[in-house]
Amino acid sequence: MKSTDTLRHDTEGGMAAAPRRRGCLFLLGRGIKWFAIALVLLVLLGVAYQTLAMQSDLRSYTPRGQLYDVDGHQMHIVCQGEGSPAVVLEAGGYAESLWWSRVQAGLAEQTQVCAYDRPGMGYSEPTTNPRDPLTLTGELHGLLGEAGIAPPYVLAGHSYGAILTRIFADQYPDEVRGLVLVDSGILRPAHFASEAEYNDWKSGNDILQAVLWVMTHTGIMRLTTGNDFSGWGYPAGIVPELVALHASNQAFDTYYAETFPARVALNEAAAAAEDLGDLPMVLLWAGEQPLNSAADLELFEQIKLDMAAYSANSVTRVIDGADHGSILGSEAYAPQVVSAILDVIDSAGTGEPLVR
């Protein structure tokens, strides 16, 4: 019998290999492998959840207004009330007509008021047409014609939509009687010196947009935006629909197409719409702005002054306590937006200048 001090041999007489210790690199590699597997599974689950949720949304929510064919695609518009001039409400970027629900309800008691969805947003079909601002304003003009909403119009726009209302007024000056710009979008930089400068700007933003794309397509956006809408003061009964419309893959893709590939055209069209004569115009600003420094505040104050000069008949008002979302969603602030629109209607009808 062999001594325990002798070397162990295999059955063929060779030396048996002693067990090897697993090194740190091996353990790290195995951890990375299982992390990658778990991440892929989570992404697949998120995509499946988003797909099923969007299918459920289609069954749960239907357009509140009417659909009309414009340039080969269906566009959604919802109109309430009666009277002239008709008020046309333009939603912001990554937004749709339901954001205006409180304002629209208040205005419908006084005149006809219509909110609509740009192609690819809300209940309007997506399109392969370019998403530059002149195409967008042309589609709105066509939609108003198809829906039988005759001019003259008073336009109110929120955020990115406020820029589009100025461009619409510049394109169709004989049809617009006044504007209300609600916490307007601010184009910075206003101009790109070259294509390379634009590409640098776009590249700097694309990382964030990639994150938002992933959040949307895996359902994370759907799980987080409900708190935003509730916090802004929207009625609890419409928050799920707002979330459904905002969190769809189509909504993100449309927002991206409007904001980034079309940015140069947007800058140019907005710059051409900075002289609106004496068109009645109210600029409403949220009192709570995401300003991080004294320099930001100084720049913002200068922008407000610059925009006030777009019309010889303009006034600037600040809604204290409101932020970019609650300025429309809150029952405390939406009536002030309604009041501003009615003031513009009065100024357009009487010819009297607006008062602060």
Burial class of residue 92, CB neighbours in 10 A (0-12, 13-18, 19+): buried
Q: What is the pLDDT of residue 291?
A: 87
**120, 56 Cβ separation under 8 angstroms:** no
Tokens of residue 38, six digits: 């778990």
Give the Cα separation of 275 and 312 in Å (integer).
9
**153, 280 Cβ separation under 8 angstroms:** no
Other residues' Cβ atoms within 10 Å of the Cβ of residue 220: 17
Q: What is the pLDDT of residue 273?
A: 97
Give the Cα separation of 156 and 164 in Å (integer).
10
Strand locations in 161-245, DSSP E?
176-182
Structural domains of the chain, ranges and CATH numbers in brackets: 61-350 (3.40.50.1820)
Q: Give the model confidence (pLDDT) of 208-251 as tens digits.
A: 999 999 999 999 999 988 899 999 999 999 999 999 999 999 99
Give the Cα separation of 45 and 50 in Å (integer).
9
Angle formed at CA 95 by CA 251 and CA 246, multiple of 5 degrees:
50
Q: What is the pLDDT of residue 102?
A: 98
Q: What is the pLDDT of residue 68?
A: 98
Q: Which of 217, 215, 192 is nearest to 202 (CA)?
A: 192
Q: What is the pLDDT of residue 33?
A: 74
What secondary structure letter does DSSP report for 174?
G
What secondary structure letter does DSSP report for 333?
T
Q: What is the pLDDT of residue 2?
A: 42
The list of the chain residues with pLDDT below 50 reads 1-16
Give the Cα separation of 213 and 146 in Å (integer).
34
The continuous run of DSSP H or E covering 153 comes out as strand 153-158
